């Protein structure tokens, strides 16, 4: 495997993980890449590394253009091991390389993971001259760990953005104009919704800090690089940061004997009646990380569960736990479901969504055992009345 040229003297030397299907709870049906970048100047510089088990692939790519022992600087934009995991192995091959990370969180994080290695601190505004060209640094804490940092190569105008603007999308092409753009955008939205969503304010600050830069390429640490469609990916990020939800709904449910499912379809009819589109996402057939992507884009969320053992179905509880952690904002919700005797699941869902800071559109809607035609009609009427 060889280094892939990005611009004169700048190369992709990362790894492509076609087989990855789960990234701490996030379904990665398209695999991922761990992007590391090499800048060949008087002082050879590597930006990020790869997951530990992909070290050999990175080394092979590095060796296709340089002797890796000549690496002089290793910039760690982010401590998380998908980007720093190969650091110790690389330092055995390039023992004279200096390691850099954001101060203080990048330094403390790397030392925790890799031992007491010498790390040079970087802060926003610092500049590193690597020969004829220079690197500038912008700290972007909590996008999405405390240590995150952007590196900007002033002469080529490449912004090495690490996790920001990334996608879990394994392709053997580097750029947005070489792949299916629609797929790249879908994966970028999914990435934002599942990784970055709780940190909209911090993303807003990062966008503003980089807005004065002239950018020819945004080079994230996962997926394709943005060069032709920079405006498009910035627009996607800005709309997430502004929390501009579509006037539409996502209906999430699980069912035991199809009573809650019948209610879900009636909820869908009610939204359709007032002119809103819906995504139907039952929890037996949709991964929670795909559901979250839909939730992030929509204003309304309806969640249904029957009652099992005095509570909701475990699939619904798991989804609510994931939803709470990702903390989308400005959502309006409906809790619904069928029950046999206790009926506790529906108010439990309602209360959990209140604790997420969401606004109920009406009281919890529940129907005992098998919904009758009249009960379903009443459910529909109740929802239409509050949505009109």
User: Catalytic site residue 126?
Assistant: no
What six digits make up the tokens of 334? Answer: 């409906």
What minimum distance in Å lies between the beta carbon of 144 and ligand FEO? 6
Q: Which of residues 302-321 bind ligand FEO (CB under 6 A)?
A: none
User: Catalytic site residue 350?
Assistant: no
Around Cβ 238, how many Cβ atoms within 10 Å? Answer: 13
Give the C-alpha separation, 334 to 320, whole Å: 13
Where does this chain touch ligand FEO (CB under 6 A) — which range of 78-86, 102-110, 266-274, 285-293?
78-86
Q: Which is nearer to ligand FEO, 50 or 313 (CB)?
A: 50
User: Catalytic site residue 183?
Assistant: no
How many residues contact ligand FEO, by CB under 6 A? 9
Q: Which is nearer to ligand FEO, 77 or 290 (CB)?
A: 77
Kindly state whether residue 30 participates in binding ligand FEO, applying the rule CB under 6 A: no
What minimum distance in Å lies between the beta carbon of 207 and ligand FEO? 18
Instruction: Please choose, from the candidates 24, 3, 34, the residue with its C-alpha nearest in 3D space to the C-alpha of residue 219.
Output: 34
User: Catalytic site residue 80?
Assistant: yes
68: Cα separation from own chain's centroid: 32
Integer angstrom CA distances of residue 295 from 52, 225, 303: 33, 26, 11
For residue 121, which phi and psi values (nearest 5 degrees)? -80, 145
Please select the residue that binds ligand FEO; options are 73, 78, 189, 190, rule is CB under 6 A. 78
Q: Which of residues 81-110 bind ligand FEO (CB under 6 A)?
A: 82-83
Q: For 180-233, give the DSSP string.
A: -HHHHHHHHHHHIIIIIGGGHHHHHHHHHHHTTS--SEEEESSSPBBSS-HHHH
Cβ proximity of 108 and 100 under 8 Å: no
Can you give the three-state secondary structure of 22-38, one letter per residue?
Answer: EECCEECCCCEEECCEE
Kindly state whether residue 17 participates in binding ligand FEO, applying the rule CB under 6 A: no
What minimum distance in Å lies between the beta carbon of 166 and ligand FEO? 6
Q: Which of residues 141-180 bind ligand FEO (CB under 6 A)?
A: 144-145, 163
Give the C-alpha separation, 362 to 385, whole Å: 10
DSSP, collapsed to helix, strand or coil, labels residue 332 as strand
Give the C-alpha separation, 10 to 6, whole Å: 5
What minimum distance in Å lies between the beta carbon of 195 and ligand FEO? 7
Q: Which is nearer to ligand FEO, 76 or 122 (CB)?
A: 76
User: Catalytic site residue 82?
Assistant: yes
Kindly state whether residue 221 participates in binding ligand FEO, applying the rule CB under 6 A: yes
Q: Which is nearer to ligand FEO, 145 or 336 (CB)?
A: 145
Kindly state whether residue 222 participates in binding ligand FEO, applying the rule CB under 6 A: yes
Kindly state whether residue 80 participates in binding ligand FEO, applying the rule CB under 6 A: yes
Q: Which of 73, 83, 144, 168 is catalytic?
A: 144
Q: Where does this chain bind ligand FEO (CB under 6 A)?
A: 78, 80, 82-83, 144-145, 163, 221-222
Query: Looking at the annotation, which residues are catalytic?
Result: 24, 78, 80, 82, 144, 163, 191, 222
């Amino acid at each position: 495997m060889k280094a892939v040229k990005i611009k004169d003297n700048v190369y992709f030397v990362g790894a492509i993980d076609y087989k990855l299907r789960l990234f701490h709870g996030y379904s990665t049906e398209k695999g991922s890449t761990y992007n590391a970048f090499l800048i060949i100047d008087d002082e050879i510089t590597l930006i990020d590394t790869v997951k530990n088990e992909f070290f050999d692939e990175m080394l092979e790519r590095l060796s296709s253009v340089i002797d890796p022992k000549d690496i002089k600087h290793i910039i760690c934009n982010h401590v998380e091991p998908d980007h720093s995991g190969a650091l110790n192995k690389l330092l055995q091959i390039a023992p004279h390389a200096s390691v850099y990370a954001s101060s203080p969180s990048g330094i403390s994080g790397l030392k925790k993971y890799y031992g007491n290695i010498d790390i040079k601190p970087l802060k926003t505004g610092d500049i590193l001259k690597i020969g004829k060209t220079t690197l500038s640094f912008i700290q972007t804490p909590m996008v999405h760990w405390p240590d995150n940092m952007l590196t900007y190569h002033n002469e080529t105008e490449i912004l090495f953005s690490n996790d920001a603007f990334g996608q879990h999308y394994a392709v053997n092409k580097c750029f947005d104009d070489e792949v299916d753009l629609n797929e790249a955008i879908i994966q970028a939205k999914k990435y934002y919704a599942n990784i970055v969503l709780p940190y909209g304010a911090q993303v807003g600050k990062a966008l503003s800090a980089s807005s004065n830069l002239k950018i020819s390429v945004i080079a994230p640490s996962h997926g394709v690089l943005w060069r032709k469609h920079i405006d498009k990916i910035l627009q996607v990020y800005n709309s997430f940061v502004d929390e501009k939800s579509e006037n539409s709904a996502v209906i999430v449910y699980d069912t035991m004997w199809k009573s809650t499912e019948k209610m879900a379809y009636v909820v869908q009819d009610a939204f359709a009646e007032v002119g809103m589109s819906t995504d139907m996402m039952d929890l037996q057939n949709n991964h929670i990380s795909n559901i979250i992507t839909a939730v992030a884009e929509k204003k309304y969320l309806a969640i249904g569960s029957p009652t099992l053992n005095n509570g909701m179905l475990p699939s619904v509880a798991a989804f609510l736990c994931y939803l709470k952690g990702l903390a989308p904002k400005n959502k309006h919700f409906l809790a619904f479901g069928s029950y046999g005797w206790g009926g506790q699941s529906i108010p439990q869902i309602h209360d959990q969504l209140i604790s997420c800071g969401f606004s109920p559109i009406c009281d919890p809607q529940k129907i005992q055992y098998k919904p009758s035609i009249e009960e379903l009609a009443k459910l529909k009427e109740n929802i239409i009345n509050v949505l009109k």
